[in-house]
Amino acid sequence: MARPMSGQIALPFEWNGGGGYDVPLIVGTSNADAVRYLRHAATWPVRTAVLVGPRGSGRSLMGRLFAEETGGQIIDDHRSVSEEAIFHAWNAAQASGVPLLIIADAPPTAWNVALPDLASRLAAVPVLTIGEPDDCLARDLIDALFAQRGMVLAPEVASYIVPRMERSYAMIHRVVAALDAASLEQGRRLGVRLTRETLMSQGLIDPDLIERQDDTTCR
């Protein structure tokens, strides 16, 4: 069982449910509210919640950690099951008290639900949102993704990347994949020079921001 969440959060920190996942969930300002709500499932007035976030944001990992810590049920991608299945899962959660988490790209108001009974139930469900990563979360996620590949980055590499890239989970995954491939192909250590050459050549960083200083302090 993961450690309980305290009332105060030092950001970023890791929520690791002990399930042996290669990349722990790194919590920052963009996802802390969602994590806090998930870790207090016993207090949910409605035994169902919807988690909305970009792909690559760790939303599925959050769901697995939620299920492991609370014993709750998850539907990972509401489009993967029928409306009838979601309706019955919602009813089962209310009857049993076992919480249900539905993971989606967008909130229920954008689902075009055809089943009236399901639409009315979803209208009462809290929607938890994962925003795009802040600088500190982006830096920590880059380090974690490289660690997953067995690579330890020098601190200056992520610090160079973050202020010069589009701030999104999708871009973080593209950057890491591009740098990993370049390092393997060229047989070179991944330092700032190779990072700059690779990301500039593939248009993954903005040349206009190349001299911008990164003065963000992360804990």
Report yes or no on 19 lying in a domain: yes
Q: Is the pLDDT of residue 218 over 70?
A: no
Structure tokens at 178: 């591009």
Note whether 43 and 112 are same-domain residues: yes
Q: Which residues have a Cβ under 8 Å from the Cβ of 200 and sit 6 or more positions away?
A: 207, 210
Residue at 215 is within a domain: no
Whether residue 1 lies inside any domain: the answer is no
Q: Does one domain contain both 22 and 102? A: yes
Looking at the fold, whether 46 and 84 belong to one and the same domain comes out as yes
Q: Is residue 216 situated within a structural domain? A: no
Q: Which residues, in sequence order, are CB contacts of 38 under 8 Å at separation 6+?
A: 49, 51, 62, 65, 66, 70, 101, 128
* 136-158 pLDDT per residue, tens: 999 999 999 999 888 888 889 99
Higher local confidence (pLDDT), 84 or 219: 84
Which residue type is seen at 73?
A: Q
Q: Determine the pLDDT at residue 95.
A: 96
Count of domains forming the chain = 2
Enclosing domain of residue 98 = 13-129
48 and 98 co-located in one domain: yes
Q: Which residues of 3-35 are buried (b: 16+ CB within 10 A; e: fewer)?
A: eebeeeeebbbebbbeeeeeebbbbbebbbebb
* Chain segment 37-96, per-residue pLDDT in tens: 999 999 999 999 999 999 889 999 999 999 999 999 999 999 999 999 999 999 999 999
- Span 93-107, pLDDT tens digits: 999 999 999 999 999
Same domain, 123 and 189: no
